[in-house]
Structure 1
Amino acid sequence: MNMKTKVLLLGTLAIALAACNNDENTTIDTGDSRALFSASIGAQTRAFDTSWEGDDQIGITGTKTYTNVTYQTTNGDGNFTVATPGKEIYYQDDNTVNFTAYYPWNDLGAGVTEISADTWGQSDQKNFDFLHATATGSKAKPNVAFTFSHKMAKLVLTIKKGADVSLDEVKAAVLLLEGFKHEGTFNITDGTTATKDASTAGWEFANNSADPAYNAPFVVDTKNETVAYTLIFFPQTFASGLDFTAELTGIQTFSTTLDFTAANADAGDSEAKNEWVAGRQYNMSVTLHKTGITVTGCTISKWEEADGGNVDAE
């Protein structure tokens, strides 16, 4: 081997070694920079109330490139993939990306960030049980885990049979609630809600034959002879107690007022108000008697939950 050949080989070897050393300090893009999304809801695991359902959809926004992209959990297991193939979210560079997500996904126009809803239609609670979450991700850490929180308030009214009242009469009772604002908006960007001006008057949420869509979901407990109604509302503050009315067999009508101040105080609010707080579940028992109604307190439980006690309506 002559000297010229030796010089060429050494030069080639030096270039190869330099290339290897540079590779050790360079992030190699495999060509797949997709963001991967999973989601849970606080201490619980559901979009609408307690668990995700198959094909539940969320809207995800991240960077200026991606806005309100639809992702869905096909199997209801909390792992989300893009609803429309080809619309996947990709990391554009090596920077960390701040993502926001909300549920349920809505097909919003360009620049629209608010969803309007009317909570009178309790049979379709899934459409306004709004959730919101934020999380970060990057090419280096592509897995984005959202933890959603409820942005509405939930009221669980357990109706009990009292003196001279049968379970069948409890199940057939027409129940009314008024004094709250049933319309409002949800902001998908920051998860805030707002109510509109009109207050509800004489709204029937149980055994409403004229407007069945207003009827709230319920569970009958034959052992304890109760009927529990679940209602979801926009968070709001009240100037006075809410009027609650029960009509038994279309003959007797009894009324009382519902107040949530004590429940919020028990939940730790230093300046408790008569209000529905976002993310709280208010549990209240109402006993129907032939002579009136008894309301037994109010508690707050996991949604976050709040105990409102029992009420007797006389």
Structure 2
Amino acid sequence: MNNRLPLHILSAATVLLFAATACTQDELADDNRLPEGEYPVVIRATGLSVEATPQAAPSTRATVDGDWQGVQTVALKMGDAVKEYTVTATDADGYKSATLSCENDPHYWTSRDPITVSAWWPLDDTDITRMPAVKVVEDQSKLADFQNSDFISAENQTVKFDDPKLTFTHRTARVAIELKPGTGFTSVDGATVSLVSLSTDNGNPTAIQTYHASGNSYEALTAPQTVAKGEPFIRVELGGGNFYFRPQNDVVLEAGNRYTYTVKVNATGLTLAGCEIGKWDDGGGENGEAEELDYIYDSNTKTYTVYTADGLLAWAEAAQSDLSINCTLTADIGLTGKTWTPIGNGSMSKYGYQGTFDGQGHRITGLAITTDNLYGEIAALFDGIGGNGEVKNLQLVDVDYDVRQNGAAGGIANANYGTITACSVNGDITANSGDVGGIASINHGSIIGCWFDGNLTTNYANGGIAAYNYSTITACFYGGNAGHGANNQGGTVGATKVEGTTTWQDAVDGMNAALTGNDYQWKLGTDGLPVLQKKQ
């Protein structure tokens, strides 16, 4: 139900009752005609009952809060004529009533017959006669910008001379979001909450940063619209990660309604605890549930934001067709039992992956690839990383690669022509008749601040970081049996074996010294191996 704002239109006769020479309505002409130019229309704005926005100071109230204090003028239309009316608010009832009048050139009653009236606020700065399209502010994080995004109107309403009332409604929709900590979070303090995937009609923003009303409550005003099901709708930035809620059904945001979403912030995304849809001031009535969130795709940045193993597989499928599609992990991913096809082609730089894969410090565990092809197959996360490709801030844990006949194997990539930064691999990598590298089989690009620990097995060349290095390996370390085999070609160039006087703590210090421009750094974990963490 919409919350309506009744406005009582008073005839000049009512206004002039306070003057000694005023006429009464009983003294007016019996045929309903009134003397021209003698009875100006005056509007009494009353009945605003919206609850104040939490933490809103009295001096910053506006129509969104239930009063007229923030409004100076409104446009009032009768027939084809639009005039600017002055708003005079009163503090007698907390600014919930006001008088709207025009001193120099008002509208006049010409008879006691009903009239059709429209009114609106705010006014169009370029053309007062035109009701402006609803265009809200993109950044509503400040209270004033949130309040100033409100639009109200009373459109084509019939007003009677002896019952002069005009009813206003909000032209915007009000969205309130209540955050709760879910799995992986003990607090949601410090969150930034936005509405996304919004319509850009009339120049509106595609995303709106909400106003932090109080505690874990956030609010925003939007133009009326429909957000399609499956699209990201609520984004929460918290703890260095971005989390999204994607509704199962279309979200229809109607003018004058308030939509209250209670969402839990989980390490794998946002889930809906409840939804109330109702009038502007309190909402109420309708509940909803959210589907499991696997990924979000942003077509503007060509980025998959991945939350689950299925989300990662969805990105991998898309990347096979478009090697420039980016991927950002928001959680640790388990691939045990999943089938993986290496991304790109390592035969040439131009055939490799050209996007950015950012693990954001997360782990991919249980990646297993077994091949048994006489004509050769590759075991790696990426077959090829192209010259424009970048893989960073990623940990592969417990990999199990087994190339039983022909083909090479590399922890992150078979062939790297791009950049691999702050990545690690541990596990077992075997290629019976091919080259093996802890990070890459062949390096034609840059490998910076990476490490490998585990078992490399082959009858051909192997290296703790790369079996063959034709470019740059900087501040990388390796352990286990890496660097041992029939041909140790790559383990010693730009990389250091962790044994003897070199420890994993030395490795952490050395790698971090080379990661000065990266958002992540290594620290020594409880298992004695480095783990990746976001810089504070």
TM-score by length of 2: 0.39
Name the counterpart of 2:280. Answer: 303
Q: Any idea what the Cα deviations from partners look like across 1:79-115, whole Å, max 9, x if unmatched?
A: 3232x63233222344432211112234342653433
**What is the match of residue 121 of structure 1?**
139
Q: 1:156 to 1:25 in 2, by over 3 A?
A: closer
- Match of residue 220 from structure 1: 214
Superposition deviation, residue 234 in structure 1: 1.2
- In the superposition, relative to structure 1, how do residues 41 and 103 fare at CA in structure 2: closer, same or farther (>3 Å)? farther
Aligned mates of 1:242, 1:40 — CA distance in 2: 40
Structure 2 contact 35–110 (Cα < 8 Å) conserved = no
Structure having greater relative contact order (Cα 8 Å, sep ≥ 6): 1
User: 1:239 — aligned with what?
Assistant: 228
Deviations 1:247-295 (A, max 9, x none): 3222x33333135x4xxxxxxxxxxx53212222111111123454322
Q: In structure 1, the residue corresponding to 2:66 is in which secondary structure?
A: coil
Tell me if structure 2 keeps the 8 A contact 1:97–1:137.
yes
Given residue 232 of structure 1, which amino acid in structure 2 is its aligned partner?
L
Contact map agreement 1:61 1:101 (CA 8 A) in 2: yes
1:276, 1:177 → 2: CA distance?
12
Contact 2:63 2:150 survives alignment (8 Å): yes
- Conserved? CA contact 2:176–2:219, under 8 Å: yes
Aligned to 2:125: 107
> In the TM superposition, what are the counterparts of 1:6-25 in structure 2 within 5 Å?
none
Equivalent pairs, count: 244
Confirm or deny: 8 A CA contact 2:124 2:132 kept in the other structure.
no
| 1:45–1:279 Cα change, 3 Å | same
Alpha carbons 1:36, 1:144 under 8 Å: kept: no
Aligned partners of 1:162 and 1:44: how far apart in 2? 31
Report the alpha carbon displacement of residue 159 of structure 1 after superposing the two structures with TM: 0.9
Residue matched to 1:254: 243
Q: Using a 3 Å threshold, how does the CA distance of structure 1 residues 125 and 41 change in structure 2: closer, same or farther?
A: farther
What is residue 72 of structure 1 aligned with on the other side?
Answer: 87
Q: Which amino acid in structure 1 is aligned with residue 99 of structure 2?
A: F
Specify the alignment match of 1:150 in structure 2.
170
Stretches (4+) displaced over 6 A: none
1:144 corresponds to which letter in structure 2? P
Q: Distance in 2 between matches of 1:254 and 1:176?
A: 10
- Matches for 1:1-314 after TM superposition, within 5 Å: 26=29, 32-40=38-46, 44=50, 48-54=63-69, 56=71, 57-64=73-80, 66-75=81-90, 76-82=95-101, 85-109=103-127, 112-115=130-133, 117-122=135-140, 123=142, 124-134=145-155, 135-137=157-159, 141=162, 144-163=164-183, 165-167=185-187, 170-184=188-202, 200=206, 203=207, 205=209, 216-221=210-215, 227-243=216-232, 244-250=234-240, 252-259=241-248, 261=249, 273-303=250-280, 305=283, 307-309=286-288
Q: Please state how far the C-alpha of 1:45 moved relative to its aligned partner.
A: 8.5
Q: Is the 8 A contact 1:39 1:148 kept in 2?
A: no
Partners of 1:78 and 1:24 in 2: how far apart? 30
Q: Give the partner amino acid of 2:246.
A: T
User: What are the ranges of 5 or more consecutive residues in structure 2 without an aligned counterpart?
Assistant: 1-25, 53-61, 294-306, 308-536
Matched-pair contact (CA < 8 Å) for 1:41–1:148:
no
Residue 233 of structure 1: how far off its partner (Å) = 0.9
Distance 1:237 1:58 in 2: 29
Pair 1:179–1:300, CA change in 2 (3 A): same
Q: How far apart in 2 are the matches of 1:106 and 1:300?
A: 30
CA distance in 2, matches of 1:63, 1:175: 44
Change over 3 Å in CA distance of 1:253–1:173 after alignment to 2: same
Which whole-Å CA distance do the structure 2 matches of 1:112 and 1:118 have between them?
Answer: 17
1:172 shift after superposition: 1.3
Displacement of 1:309: 4.2
Q: TM-score, normalised by structure 1?
A: 0.63
Q: Residues 303 and 41 from structure 1, CA distance in 2 versus in 1: closer, same or farther, beyond 3 angstroms? A: farther
Q: Contact conserved, 1:219 with 1:229, CA < 8 A, in 2?
A: yes
Q: CA deviation at 1:72?
A: 0.8
* 1: CA distance, partners of 2:51 / 2:36: 33
1:139-187 alpha-carbon deviations (Å, 9 max, x no partner): x53x6322111222111111112345344xx231233432111443xxx
The offset of 1:60, in angstroms, is 0.9
- Structure 1 distance, partners of 2:195, 2:27, is 68
Distance 1:31 1:246, change over 3 A: closer
